């Protein structure tokens, strides 16, 4: 995880203010460096003009044996600010060494030569398409800013799902700003920032010519579907983006020819297990281990005890070294609106939170099916006063998102990823008074499972109203807006603690399979009624939302987890409607 800042100005070098720099350095505590590049050009009026490009990068070093400082400067003078994890690229896998250097070399190797008859603008556009195709070969989450010094082009963008944060704004003096976090610039409102759309590679010609050359910061974009239009789905070319694009475009037609009931024997269960295991292996095999006294956990899971995170924990057990403990981060909030009326006397408000109850139950199930693993259940109890004390910090981090629902979700992620709580010796005992802080820098999240496999209540509602057509429309909409609605916000909130969230359900291979698989092989909606006498396996009776994942949990020996109902994080942890019960999730913060 890293923090990125970049500014392009003809006025002066523009650097992050003290508070923005503090936020960037919390994201990347291992290195903090900056650089300044100047470009000279002549305006259409024949006047000389200096362009200042400033970079500031911070680094959370998780791969390789040494910390690679950023901005990373190549031998040609190009600069790369990279906040990502390149699991695979250019047909080679896995990439275990430091990926910043590897990505820089990949971009540096992209050479294009054009005849003198090609205009500057055409040459820049062709180079941008070529660079976009190069980036399309990378599998993994990223946000990046790359200054191609040889050709005077600045590129920036996010992966096609938007799994890492990158914001942009244009200041009142025309300065173009890019940042991982929304900061105040020159006293201007921080809400003026917007998410860089996760739908293509943006670029700026730093030495434009011809019409409009006095407006040097014109942002253009190569859409990802054009960048990868010729990719092959095999061999040395990574073709998952084409597969996903095709699947999304044709998803309305994807219905199984034979609609049979899903159970643990269905082929889709085996495919999901294989792909999810492969996804987890990519995300776990490169975690840097350190010897400490006492030993610490290097891996933690954002753990509500629900279906998604518990299946991840169970499969991670098969991959991650058995002698290493795994922390389970379970957060519960004091909500005065709920607790004041329902829990008198000495009853623990935290232990009666829905996510605490399911968390302890799923912890017990994990200990039963994986007894040789040390599962450390961290009970993170957040008093109302502490929530309010951190409110403005959370509001600042989640910007430009600004609704009650954003705040409720962000509260839960903020305190869970802080990783400070208490532990207990068994799953059904209240936590001890001893304070425990997770040492893990890598956090696994189950985000994406609901969007892929129909886990939200609105999916059931869409099916009841419009059948499979309505359900497919809703699922397609959810995947398309992940980067805009969820992932950038979550990245800013979680990374504030110098930790990195990884999303196994959003692996490119798994995503391509899920979107190309008939909806009837993922969900149980529309299945015919069956009596207990007629069914071949009890897993047939599992509820329809995310049924393929429920069947996998059942197959893995976790029957209670397989039956667990979906509950939104803000209700499970009780961060929703803390101050009044009349607010709506879409209501803007005052």
Distance from C-alpha of 472 to C-alpha of 486, rounded to nearest angstrom: 20
> CA-based Rg of the chain, rounded to a whole angstrom?
25
**301: which strand partners?**
328, 444
Of 175, 134, 180, 125, nearest in space to 153 by CA: 125
Handedness of CA 308, 309, 315, 319 (dihedral sign): positive
Contact predicate 239/265, CB 8 Å: no
Where does 29-139 have alpha helices with state H?
Answer: 99-108, 120-135
Where does 370-484 have alpha helices with state H?
Answer: 384-389, 391-398, 404-418, 449-453, 457-480, 482
Name the catalytic one among 2, 6, 81, 137.
Answer: 2
Distance from C-alpha of 279 to C-alpha of 222, rounded to nearest angstrom: 28
The torsion angles phi and psi of 249, rounded to 5 degrees, stand at: -70, -30
Of 106, 105, 55, nearest in space to 75 by CA: 105
What lies within 8 Å, CB to CB, of 563 at 6+ separation is 542, 543, 550
**299: which strand partners?**
442
Give me 305's structure tokens. Answer: 């005890």
Question: Strand 48-59's sheet: what is its strand order?
Answer: 31-42, 48-59, 2-9, 176-179, 167-170, 194-195
User: How far from chain centre, in Å, is Cα 51?
Assistant: 33
Contact predicate 60/498, CB 8 Å: yes
Contact predicate 247/511, CB 8 Å: no
Q: Residues for the chain: how many in total?
A: 590
Query: Annotated catalytic, 2?
Result: yes
Of 86, 68, 78, 66, nearest in space to 111 by CA: 78
Mode of pairing for the β-strands spanning 167-170 and 176-179: antiparallel
Distance from C-alpha of 360 to C-alpha of 35, rounded to nearest angstrom: 49
What 3-state class would DSSP assign to 390? coil
The torsion angles phi and psi of 483, rounded to 5 degrees, stand at: -65, -35
Q: What is the largest CA-CA distance in the chain?
A: 87
User: How far from chain centre, in Å, is Cα 365?
Assistant: 27
**403: which strand partners?**
588
Contact predicate 178/5, CB 8 Å: yes
Of 179, 160, 79, nearest in space to 495 by CA: 179
**84: which strand partners?**
142
- Which residues are marked as active site? 2
């Amino acid at each position: 995880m890293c923090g990125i800042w970049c500014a392009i100005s003809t006025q002066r070098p523009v650097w992050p203010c003290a508070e923005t720099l503090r936020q960037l350095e919390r994201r990347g505590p291992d290195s903090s460096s900056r650089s300044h590049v100047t470009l000279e050009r002549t305006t259409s009026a024949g006047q000389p003009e200096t362009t200042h490009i400033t970079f500031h990068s911070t680094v959370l070093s998780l791969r390789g044996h040494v910390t690679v400082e950023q901005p990373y400067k190549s031998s040609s003078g190009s600069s790369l600010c990279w906040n990502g994890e390149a699991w695979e690229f250019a047909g080679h896998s896995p990439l275990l060494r430091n990926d910043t250097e590897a990505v820089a070399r990949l971009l540096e190797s992209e050479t294009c030569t054009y005849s003198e008859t090609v205009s500057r603008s055409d040459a820049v556009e062709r180079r941008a398409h070529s660079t976009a195709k190069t980036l399309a070969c990378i599998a993994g989450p990223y946000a990046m800013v790359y200054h191609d010094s040889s050709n005077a082009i600045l590129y920036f963008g996010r992966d096609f799902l938007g799994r890492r944060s990158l914001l942009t704004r244009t200041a009142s003096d025309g300065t173009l700003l890019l940042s991982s976090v929304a900061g105040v610039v020159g006293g201007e409102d921080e809400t003026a920032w917007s998410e860089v759309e996760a739908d293509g590679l943006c670029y700026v010609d730093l030495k434009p010519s011809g019409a409009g050359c006095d407006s040097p910061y014109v942002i253009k974009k190569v859409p990802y579907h054009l960048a990868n239009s010729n990719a092959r789905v095999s061999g040395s070319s990574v073709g998952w983006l084409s597969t996903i694009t095709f699947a999304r475009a044709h998803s309305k037609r994807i219905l199984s020819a034979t609609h049979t009931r899903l159970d643990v024997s269905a082929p889709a269960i085996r495919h999901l297990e294989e792909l999810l295991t492969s996804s987890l292996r990519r995300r776990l095999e490169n975690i840097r281990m350190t010897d400490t006294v006492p030993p610490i956990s290097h891996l933690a899971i954002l753990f509500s005890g629900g279906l998604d995170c518990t299946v991840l924990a169970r499969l991670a057990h098969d991959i991650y070294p058995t002698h290493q403990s795994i922390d389970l981060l379970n957060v519960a909030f004091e909500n005065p609106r709920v607790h004041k009326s329902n829990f008198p006397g000495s009853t623990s408000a935290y232990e009666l939170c829905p996510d605490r109850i399911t968390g302890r139950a799923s912890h017990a199930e994990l200990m039963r099916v994986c007894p040789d693993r040390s599962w450390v259940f961290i009970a993170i109890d957040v008093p109302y006063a502490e929530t309010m004390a951190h409110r403005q910090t959370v509001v600042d981090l989640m910007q430009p998102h600004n609704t009650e629902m954003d705040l409720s979700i962000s509260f839960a992620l903020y305190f869970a990823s802080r990783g400070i709580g208490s532990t207990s010796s068994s799953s059904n005992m209240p936590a001890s008074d001893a304070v425990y802080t997770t040492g893990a820098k890598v956090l696994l999240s189950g985000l994406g499972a609901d969007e892929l496999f129909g886990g939200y209540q609105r999916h059931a509602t869409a099916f009841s109203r419009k059948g499979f057509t309505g359900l497919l429309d809703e699922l397609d909409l959810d995947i398309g807006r992940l980067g805009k609605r969820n992932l950038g916000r979550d990245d800013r909130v979680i990374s504030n603690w110098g930790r990195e969230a990884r999303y196994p359900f959003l692996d490119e291979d798994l995503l391509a399979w899920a979107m190309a698989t008939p909806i009837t092989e993922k969900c149980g909606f529309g299945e015919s009624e069956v009596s207990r006498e007629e069914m071949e396996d009890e897993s047939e009776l599992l509820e329809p939302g995310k049924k393929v994942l429920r069947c996998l949990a059942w197959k893995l020996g976790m029957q209670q987890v397989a039956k667990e109902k979906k509950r939104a994080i803000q209700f499970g942890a009780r961060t929703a409607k803390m101050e009044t019960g009349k607010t709506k999730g879409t209501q803007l913060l005052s």
